[in-house]
A = this chain, B = another copy of it.
Amino acid sequence: MLGGPGLQSQKVMEGEYVLLYLDQRRTYLVKVEAGKTFHTHKGFIKLDDLIGKEYGSKIASSLGVQFAILKPLLRDYIMKSTRRTQIIYPKDIALIIIFSGIGPGSRVVEAGTGTGALTTALAHYVRPNGRVYSYEVRGEFLETAEKNLKRAGLIEYVELKNKDITAGIDEINLDAVILDMATPWLVVPHACKALKPCGTFISFSPTIDQTVKTVEALEEKGFINIETVECLLRGMQIERGKTRPQTLMTAHTGYITFARKVLEPTAENGSQEGL
């Protein structure tokens, strides 16, 4: 399980996932299965040898190369889930989480599930008494997502739904609706019904045109506090006397659009409130 109380056991146990860390660019998320062997181009590691080792210790491969045995963090599970599609990054997930206002206990609808990278993050933060309802039309993705969520120990907080969210949202009274899909604007009317008042809508889209359509749909439904941002993350090479930004960076992943649902003022309300 991710995180958890600080006093938990710190020995590697069979069946757990560990992150074998060689260097910044080479890390491996490995399930500790007795009798199996993990092979790298730097030699192999017998997984039996990992069992009972302390997290944070190091282990040498058959070629004598040291790997650190790390307890995977949320970010590791995210990165290992997204590698295949590489659409949504931790930087964007981070903003989505904080803009959405969700936390322990929140009820969230998400679409599409994809490989479950964002789902993993949502589940991590709504624990222990919240819930993520994740819609995905492509069945093959749901299998991958399920595998990734189980790996992260978070499947119990998620309901994976093989459904088209543009046809409607089953849940009501939601804290947030979070979309990473091709046509988010088609979901806006459903989100408007499914969200509780003050609930948040968030959409992540790579193109300008998706963003414009989504903002227009939000305006039409009376959402307020609509804003769109993009996030650029730049790595730094820190070394005394040679410090400088990294040479390459991801120039674009997507635009994040945020909005809040409100109840429309009725004529009656309007007259009541005026003095």
Which residues of chain A have a CB within 8 Å of any CB of chain B? 2-7, 10, 21, 24, 49, 54-60, 62, 64, 66, 68, 70-71, 73-75, 90-91, 93-95, 97-107, 121, 124-125, 127-130, 173-175, 196-198, 200, 206-209, 211-212, 215-216, 224-236, 238-252, 255, 257, 260-263, 265, 269-270, 273-275
Contact = CB atoms under 8 A, between A and B. Distances in A.
Nearest to A127: B104
A129 B70 CA distance: 23
Secondary structure call for the A interface: mixed
5 contacts: A3-B106, A6-B107, A68-B224, A234-B251, A246-B252
Contacts of A56: 196-198, 261-263
A243 B212 contact: yes
B251 A55 contact: no
Contacts of A236: 211, 228-230, 255
Contact of A212 (B98, B196, B240, B249): B240
